[in-house]
Structure 1
Amino acid sequence: MRILLVDDHAVVRRGLTMLLNAQPGMEVVGEASEGNEGIQKAQELKPDIIIMDLSMPHGKDGLSATTELKKLLPDVAILILTMHDDEEYLFRAIQSGASGCILKSEPHEELIMAIQSVYKGNAYLNPAATKRLMEEYLVNVNRGTIDSYSLLSDREKEVLTLIAKGYSNKEIANQLVLSVKTVETHKGHVMEKLKMKTRPELVAYALKKGLLGYGV
């Protein structure tokens, strides 16, 4: 794992370099002291993982750098390192495109685990952060500030569109090469997630979403 460190504290970078270089399969290939330098080094070195400090008072901050890097190098995994145990920073880190977020106060073992996780393409949040993220997400869904459509899987969206077009469960099953029972299960999940109880409600919803090629 080729790792780039972006942190404004030289002592932190030195300590992380010693820690990570001592791990099998990990190598720190570069360092940067602020976001702009981090972007430049990332383009030059093409690391697998960037460990990005959230708060860097000089130059570009970690969130802004992460947002720009994900446009320039979409495949790079970025792990945000922060001292802020706060929902706002957690949401902003995820929205910026980071693969994970870890507190500077976490044990070294947790950091190693986080790096291994994002390297494999997974997201990393500690259990407490995950719980807070889900709670806030559900609150926003209930308030209507997040469209429940985003909760549907790709298959459920396909089933919803076909239902709205007037296909029967059997016809949907034939078209998607599924069993009728599986289609009924998907339909049940769609209705549950959208909090609807009838087919006409689903049709009206699909029309509003423009799933039929035209909206209302």
Structure 2
Amino acid sequence: MKILFVKKPSLLREGIVQLLNQRFQESEICVSDGSGYPDDLIANELSDMIIIDLETDVPYREIIEVYKQCNKKVIIWVADKECMKLNELFTKNLDGYFYNGMEEKELMDAIQLVQKGKKYVHPALSCLLLADYVKIQQKVSKRPVGILSNREWEVLQLLSKGYNNIDIATHLYLSDKTVKNYVSAILRKLEVPDRTNAVLKALKQKWVYV
């Protein structure tokens, strides 16, 4: 396996490269400060695994895309857990998210996990990843005041999920007739001809979510 470590020259970098050479003796360990981009990163034969320190002055987005398209392992290394790039990079579903200050054993074990096809997120960064996941899952609708009643909003939300009148009645513990009345009121208040257009309008305005 060929491992490429992209980081500015420093004692830390030299120490890590030395560790990699000792631990992964059957692998080819390469290092770059990014100054030879793109020749030493993507123009020649790609490494099997690339570790990119985000403090290195390289177009990391382009490099990540090239490596991912070729099914190579991609790890990013951050020094600051408040790094604004993290939110974007979490969406890339990379193989590893490393953090400054990793102990020697922790670093080596993390690389081995990635080699085996598993994901690694440093504990200092995992709380940020969880926070992002919660935000995505908690899709907050932006409902205007005064258009529909609370119960009508509930009915419209269920319509957006594909529920029919009987399903809505069962879900909300209402009669079929009551649901029909709610649907009629929703169509009238939203000034649309049918439930499909009611849902389309609500989705467009971000009043409901699917």
TM range (shorter): 0.5 to 0.7
Shift of 1:3: 0.7
Q: SS of the residue aligned with 2:55?
A: coil
Question: Relative to 1, partners in 2 of residues 1:124 and 1:113: Cα closer, same or farther, differing over 3 Å?
Answer: same
Alignment of 1:37-48 (within 5 A): 37=36, 39-42=38-41, 43-48=43-48
Q: Which runs of 5+ in 2 are unaligned?
A: 142-159, 169-194, 204-210
Give the aligned partner of residue 81 of structure 2.
Answer: 85
Higher relative contact order (CA 8 A, sep 6+): 2
Alignment of 1:63-212 (within 5 A): 64-71=59-66, 74-75=69-70, 76-86=72-82, 88-96=84-92, 98-144=94-140
Instruction: Give identity over the alignment, percent.
Output: 20
- Taking the aligned partners of 2:120 and 2:167, their CA distance within structure 1 comes to 37
Give the aligned partner of residue 29 of structure 2.
Answer: 29
Q: Which amino acid aligns with 1:31?
A: V
Q: For 1:14-70, what per-residue CA distance to the aligned partner results, in whole angstroms no more than 9, with x for missing partners?
A: 212210010145534322112x635422342421111111112xx42xxx3244342
What is the TM-score with the length of structure 2 in the denominator? 0.58
* Contact 1:78-1:98 at 8 Å conserved across structures: yes
Q: Which runs of 5+ in 1 are unaligned?
A: 146-193, 210-216
Shift of 1:137: 1.8
Q: SS of the residue aligned with 1:37?
A: coil
Question: Relative to 1, partners in 2 of residues 1:5 and 1:16: Cα closer, same or farther, differing over 3 Å?
Answer: same
Q: SS of the residue aligned with 1:47?
A: coil
Give the aligned partner of residue 206 of structure 2.
Answer: none
Q: SS of the residue aligned with 2:133?
A: helix
- Taking the aligned partners of 2:117 and 2:166, their CA distance within structure 1 comes to 40
Question: Relative to 1, partners in 2 of residues 1:140 and 1:73: Cα closer, same or farther, differing over 3 Å?
Answer: closer
* Greater Rg by CA: 2
* Contact 1:50-1:77 at 8 Å conserved across structures: yes
- Taking the aligned partners of 1:89 and 1:126, their CA distance within structure 2 comes to 16
What is the Cα-based RMSD across aligned positions, in Å? Answer: 3.7
Q: For 1:95-153, what per-residue CA distance to the aligned partner results, in whole angstroms no more than 9, with x for missing partners?
A: 456322111211011111221122222221023432331232212332449xxxxxxxx
Q: How many residues align?
A: 155
Give the aligned partner of residue 12 of structure 2.
Answer: 12
